[in-house]
Every structure is written in C-alpha cells, then in structure tokens.
Chain A
Amino acid sequence: MSEQPIIELKGITKTFGEGAAAFQALKGVDLSIKRGDFVAVMGPSGSGKSTTMNILGCLDVPTSGVFKFLGTEVQSLNKDQRSLLRRRYLGFVFQGFNLLARTTAVENVELPLLYRGEHKAERREAALRALDRVGLRPWADHTPAELSGGQQQRVAIARALVTDPEVLLADEPTGNLDSERSIEIMEFLSELNGQGITILMVTHEPEMAEFAKTIVHFKDGLVERIENGARNHAHAGSGVNG
C-alpha cells in the first residue's frame, strides 16, 4: 500500500447556525488517517467528535477546509454523490444501533445491498455470511426487539460489513452496552481491523480506546494531541494482513 492516507482533513471548520447564534464546533481540524489504522477519537463532551465523524462519514460537509477521502475532495460533492460514496466505501455503526424495527436481522443486514441493486438471492446470501461473521447466523430471523443490546450492535456491525467497506465509522458503538458486551464488540472490531478494514471510533471509555492503534484527542473543536494506542506496538508492522 502507498503512503497516501485514506482520509485527510486540512483546516476543517464547522459552524452551526448563523449570525449571533452561530457556533463554531470545529475550529480547524487537521488529521490524516492511514489505510488499515484503528483510530479511537476521545475528548470531552461537546469537543466536536461527532461533528468530525459526520463529516468523515460524508453525512455532513465542513464549513471550510479540505476533506480528501481516497483522493476525492468530498467538500465539493453534492448530496447524491456523497450518498454514492457512503454506499460504496463506508460502513456505519451508531451508538443507538439504529436497526429498522419490526424488520428481521437478516433484512436489516440486507438493506445496504438493496441500494446497490443486488439480486434477492445474492443479497440474502451475503447478509447471512455477514451475520455469520458476527456470530448471529442463528438469529437471522429475529427482529431487533427479540435481541439483546450486544446482539443488536453486532447486527448493526454485520450491516456495516456486508458491503465490504473500506472504512468503518463508529460513534460510541459501546455507549449503550455493559462492559462485558463492550469488550466483545471491541474484540470483534480489532479482528475486523486485522482483516484490513480501517476503523474510526468515538469513545469516552479509555478501556475501549485501549483496543485502538491510534488515539486522537479532541478539545474545543481542535485536535489536541495524537498518541499511539496500547495495541499499536503489538500490531505494528503486521499491517493489512493482520
């Protein structure tokens, strides 16, 4: 792999509201992330972590600055072009799981493939494979209401994985889980990272950040410092092949 970072932020600012009510959530964020990295984003509440993740996830655009994703300048793309980027390269895991209610696990996992226009049989097969990867194959026909929080989050991860994304974005993926489930999820994420997926994750819990290779600390809308994670050493050099 080249040294070209997969994600590059330069002087990113984000202002919400206008005039007197305007609030600058990001004040010039510079950050670059290498392919195959596992980044934990930490920082106090309101420091701009989610805002940054939304921009990285192409869900939102910066007020100013340059955001290069796989060499493409995302800030100049329109809504639909960003949708196409998301569907092609990105997987999302949210704090609140965000599964469709009254929809079975396997159908939830199929959802992204639906928008890729894949055929029913292929969709089903890929979704079952993804569920298998998160160990929930037997729960394929259960609705979210019938699953525990940890299981729901694993379904959400399967949904993010089913398209073989380049980057997995997770905003407080363990925020709603007890520590035992959280560790399970984190172990699973590092396993995925070992298989080559670049992961960006927001977390408040240092134990969870332990699993990352790189830890980015935010403060007041700026990157305060970047440190190597506890595992970075262990994983260093193993690169994409895990």
Chain B
Amino acid sequence: MFGTTLMLAFREIRRHLMRSFLTTLGIIIGVSAVITMVTLGRGVTADIEEQISSLGSNVFFVFPIQGERGQFRPFDEDDVTAVREQIAGVKSAAGQVDSNVVAIYNGQDWETTVEGVSGEFMDARGIEMDVGRRFTEAEETSGANVCIIGPTVQEELFLTGESPIGERMRLNNVSCQVIGVFASRGSVGGGGDEDNSVFMPLTNVQRRFTGNDNIGYMAVSYDSAYDSATMTNALVDLMRERRVLLEGQANDFDIVDTAQINETVQSTVGTMTIMVAAIAAISLVVGGVGIMNIMLVSVTERTREIGIRLAIGALAKEVRLQFLTEAVVLCCFGGLVGMILGFVFSYSLAGALGFPFIFDPFINILSFVISALIGILFGYFPARRASQLDPIEALRHE
C-alpha cells in the first residue's frame, strides 16, 4: 500500500511539475541557506583556528599597558628572566621589540619591520626556518649584525632563484648579513603581513634601532601539562610583585592566551553561525506554510477525485496518507534540491572568500529530516481535511 501511495504522490507531482517546484521553493531556499551558513561558519572557524595555531600553542603574550595613574612601564630583560626562572611550567620566555625600517638591497627599498628576537623567542612562537640557520648564542649575546629575513622580504628584494644567504643588506643605515629565511607564519586575522619582517638579535635592535633596553612584549610558552588558568595566575602574581602594584590597583600589563583567543573566536563565530542559520530556518517555516497552502488548493481542486476514491471504498486514513505522502515527498524533494544548492553555494562561496570548504554531514542530514518533518507538520491539516470529506458531497462537487 505504501509503495502505491508513493507512486501516486510522484504521479501527482509530475502532473504539476511547475507548481510543485514553485511550492517547494521556500523549502529549497531555506535548506540551502541553512546548509550554506553552517558550512561557511565551519570553514571560517577552521580558518581562524589555523591562524591562531600559527601563533604557537600554549603560549602567552604579555604586554605592558597603561596603568591606572597613566603610567606606562615597559618590560626589560630582567622581567623575562624572572618569568623564565621563577614560574614552574614555563618552557621558554623571550622578549621582542620591533621598529619600522627601510630595508635596502641592490639599490631597492622596501618598508619592513625589524624585530629583535632570540632563538628562544622563535621556539615560543613556533617559528621554523625555511633556509639558513638561526642566531648563535654568541651572536645573540654580542648583538652581531646578522639577520634572518621573512619570506615577503626575500620576495621583494631578491630575485627568484637567488640565494640571499651570505648577502649583505641595509636596514636604515645598519648593515647586516643575511644568515637565513624563516618559514611563513601566515597572517593573523587578516591584519598585517607577519612575513614582512627581518629578525636581528634582540640586543642589536635595542642598541641600534630603539636606543633603550625596553622590550615590547614577552612570549611565554609553557608545558601543556599545566593549565592556562594556573599559569596566568602565576604570571599575574609575579608581574604585580615585580611592578610593585598595591592591592586594589589594576594591572598595568595584559596577558593574552592563544587558547583563550581560540575559544573566544570560536564561540563568537559559533553564535553568529547559529543566529544566521536560525534566520535562514525561518524561511523553512515559510516554505512549510507554502506547502500547506498549495496542498489545501490541491484538496479543493481534487474534491471530486477524493469523492471517487472514498466511494469505491478508500478508508479515511488511506486518503489522508495519500495527501500526507504528497506533502512529504514535495518537502523531501525541496530538501534534496536545497542540499545540492547548499553544497554548490557553500563550495563556491568558500572558494571565493578563501575559507576552507568543510562538508558537514550532520547539518545536511538534519536539514533533510527537518524538511520531511515540515512536510508532515504542514501536510497533516490539508490531508485531514481531504480525508474528512463526505463522499456524496465530494462527488457532487463542481
């Protein structure tokens, strides 16, 4: 019986192909919108996750900020040493300072940033070498005129195929010898180009570019066996003590935790995805109302047919099942087309916006099931009306 009902439903839909398509448009739009939104949301999340992981994992960034009384007190190397030596669980702690410079090589200028760093800093941030080598300990201590350039700088100042290793370039009027190129660390949050940078030993940058012993921020990496909250507390306590902050005074430094950024961003994107998907889902409901409307029209149009069916012995529930099946088949058809369109939209949008495309089977199955449920929900009332017709009246219709 059910196979027959299904066949009848297909036949009826085929008979009004255009109308059936227009009827299901609401469902198609709803399903494709929900799928597109959720799939894009997942792509964005994955993209951000990757960017954040490029900052290194289990890393804190500690910045000096303006204090309560307007004071701004930078860190110095002693602070870094204290963190490294006095807090349990710290694997490495390193300071960084930077300055905008013009790099000159072979008669060409390029605006870039010089960063005073150390091997330990590169460890903490998880920066790998592309070619060449890192600074030696001796170079770091003495502040030798050696530099490691970023991929962007290499691209801008050196010819393709030309090895920059051993070449001398100038940063403003400081000459240095290129000893390596660091591997791309990507761009964070679409902001500045992290690869447009030249590393020099920290002491060298302090002496020749910034002219003081200050450091801009500390990168502190910790053992993953320790949790982020414990480490944060230890860091805050130590820094407050070192900066002699009284109880009740606000911190004049800030600690940013990559795990925490990750969490915040993810939950923000998650919330936005849910909101947009919910708005898209409203069109699913509107689509359901469309289905109900057309099914009611169909019941009126086919009153005589219903009368014939009842007269030759169809049970009320059989007539109801027939109309319900029609509504559900329509909705499932809409769901299917919506899924395909959702795939096409999210795939091409992800490509156009530069996000990874991550197929989410759950949302696809869910959307399909929901469209079938909408068919049942909004098809039930018209189907019930059909089944409750009086055969004599129905036969006399028109």
A59 and B305 contact, Cβ closer than 8 Å, known pairs A84-B313, A115-B312: no
**Min CB distance, A189 to chain B, in Å?**
18
For window 99-156 of chain A, which residues contact chain B by CB distance below 8 Å? 99-102, 111-112, 114-115, 117
Q: Which of B4, B313, B316 contacts A86 (CB 8 A)?
A: B313
A111 and B15 contact, Cβ closer than 8 Å, known pairs A54-B392, A117-B1: no
A100 and B4 contact, Cβ closer than 8 Å, known pairs A115-B314, A115-B318: no
Interface contact B308-A80, CB-CB below 8 Å: no
Q: Is the CB of B304 closer than 8 A to any CB of chain A? A: yes
Instruction: Provide the bound-state CA to CA distance between A59 and B313, in Å.
Output: 9
Instruction: Provide the bound-state CA to CA distance between A117 and B307, in Å.
Output: 19
Instruction: Provide the bound-state CA to CA distance between A60 and B395, in Å.
Output: 13
- Chain B contacts for A79, CB-based, 8 A: 316
Instruction: Provide the bound-state CA to CA distance between A54 and B308, in Å.
Output: 13
Instruction: Provide the bound-state CA to CA distance between A59 and B311, in Å.
Output: 7
- Chain A contacts for B308, CB-based, 8 A: 98-100, 111
A59 and B391 contact, Cβ closer than 8 Å, known pairs A100-B305, A111-B309: yes
Interface contact B4-A114, CB-CB below 8 Å: yes
Interface contact B310-A83, CB-CB below 8 Å: yes
Q: What is the size category of the interface that chain A forms with chain B?
A: 20 to 34
Instruction: Provide the bound-state CA to CA distance between A117 and B305, in Å.
Output: 19
Interface contact A57-B311, CB-CB below 8 Å: yes
| Residues 246-266 of chain B, each 1 if its beta carbon lies under 8 Å from chain A, else 0 | 000000000000000000000
A111 and B312 contact, Cβ closer than 8 Å, known pairs A59-B391, A60-B392: yes
Interface contact B313-A87, CB-CB below 8 Å: yes
Question: Number of contacting residues on B, CB 8 A?
Answer: 20
**Min CB distance, B312 to chain A, in Å?**
5
A112 and B315 contact, Cβ closer than 8 Å, known pairs A59-B391, A100-B305: no
Q: Is the CB of A69 closer than 8 A to any CB of chain B? A: no
Interface contact B391-A115, CB-CB below 8 Å: no
**Min CB distance, B11 to chain A, in Å?**
8
Q: Which of B304, B312, B317 contacts A87 (CB 8 A)?
A: B312
**Min CB distance, A168 to chain B, in Å?**
12
**Min CB distance, B143 to chain A, in Å?**
91
- Chain B contacts for A115, CB-based, 8 A: 309, 312-315, 318
Interface contact B316-A94, CB-CB below 8 Å: no
Q: Which of B311, B314, B317 contacts A92 (CB 8 A)?
A: B311
Q: Is the CB of A88 closer than 8 A to any CB of chain B? A: yes
| Residues 294-329 of chain B, each 1 if its beta carbon lies under 8 Å from chain A, else 0 | 000000000011011111111111100000000000
Q: Is the CB of A49 closer than 8 A to any CB of chain B? A: no
Q: Is the CB of A159 closer than 8 A to any CB of chain B? A: yes
The closest CB in chain B to the CB of A90 belongs to B313
Interface contact B305-A86, CB-CB below 8 Å: no
- Chain A contacts for B307, CB-based, 8 A: 98
Interface contact A83-B313, CB-CB below 8 Å: yes
**Min CB distance, A164 to chain B, in Å?**
13
Q: Which of A88, A98, A99, A100 contacts B313 (CB 8 A)?
A: A88
| Residues 31-46 of chain B, each 1 if its beta carbon lies under 8 Å from chain A, else 0 | 0000000000000000
**Min CB distance, A178 to chain B, in Å?**
23
A98 and B315 contact, Cβ closer than 8 Å, known pairs A114-B4, A117-B1: no
Instruction: Provide the bound-state CA to CA distance between A90 and B310, in Å.
Output: 12
**Min CB distance, B303 to chain A, in Å?**
12
Q: Which of A60, A84, A92, A159 contacts B315 (CB 8 A)?
A: A84
**Min CB distance, B116 to chain A, in Å?**
84
**Min CB distance, B2 to chain A, in Å?**
10
The closest CB in chain B to the CB of A101 belongs to B305
Q: Which of B304, B310, B312, B318 has the most CB of A within 10 A?
A: B312
**Min CB distance, B388 to chain A, in Å?**
9
**Min CB distance, B121 to chain A, in Å?**
77
**Min CB distance, A115 to chain B, in Å?**
5
For window 46-99 of chain A, which residues contact chain B by CB distance below 8 Å? 54, 57, 59-60, 79-80, 83-88, 90, 92, 94, 98-99
A102 and B310 contact, Cβ closer than 8 Å, known pairs A80-B316, A83-B315, A94-B395: no
- Chain B contacts for A90, CB-based, 8 A: 313
- Chain A contacts for B310, CB-based, 8 A: 83
Instruction: Provide the bound-state CA to CA distance between A101 and B15, in Å.
Output: 11
- Chain B contacts for A100, CB-based, 8 A: 305, 308
Instruction: Provide the bound-state CA to CA distance between A143 and B308, in Å.
Output: 16
Instruction: Provide the bound-state CA to CA distance between A46 and B395, in Å.
Output: 18
| Residues 221-243 of chain B, each 1 if its beta carbon lies under 8 Å from chain A, else 0 | 00000000000000000000000
Interface contact A98-B392, CB-CB below 8 Å: no
- Chain A contacts for B316, CB-based, 8 A: 79-80, 83
Q: Which of A99, A111, A159 has the most CB of B within 10 A?
A: A111
A59 and B315 contact, Cβ closer than 8 Å, known pairs A83-B310, A100-B305, A100-B308: no
Known contacts A86-B311, A111-B308; 10 additional CB pairs below 8 A are A60-B392, A80-B317, A83-B310, A83-B314, A83-B315, A84-B315, A86-B312, A92-B311, A98-B307, A115-B313
Pull 24 A–B residue pairs with CB atoms less than 8 Å apart, ordered by A: A54-B392, A59-B311, A60-B392, A80-B315, A80-B317, A83-B310, A83-B313, A83-B314, A85-B313, A87-B314, A88-B313, A90-B313, A92-B312, A94-B395, A98-B308, A100-B305, A101-B305, A111-B308, A111-B309, A112-B312, A112-B313, A114-B4, A115-B309, A115-B314
List chain A positions with a Cβ less than 8 A from chain B: 54, 57, 59-60, 79-80, 83-88, 90, 92, 94, 98-102, 111-112, 114-115, 117, 159
List 3 tightest A-B contacts by C-beta distance, closest first.
A87-B313, A86-B313, A112-B312
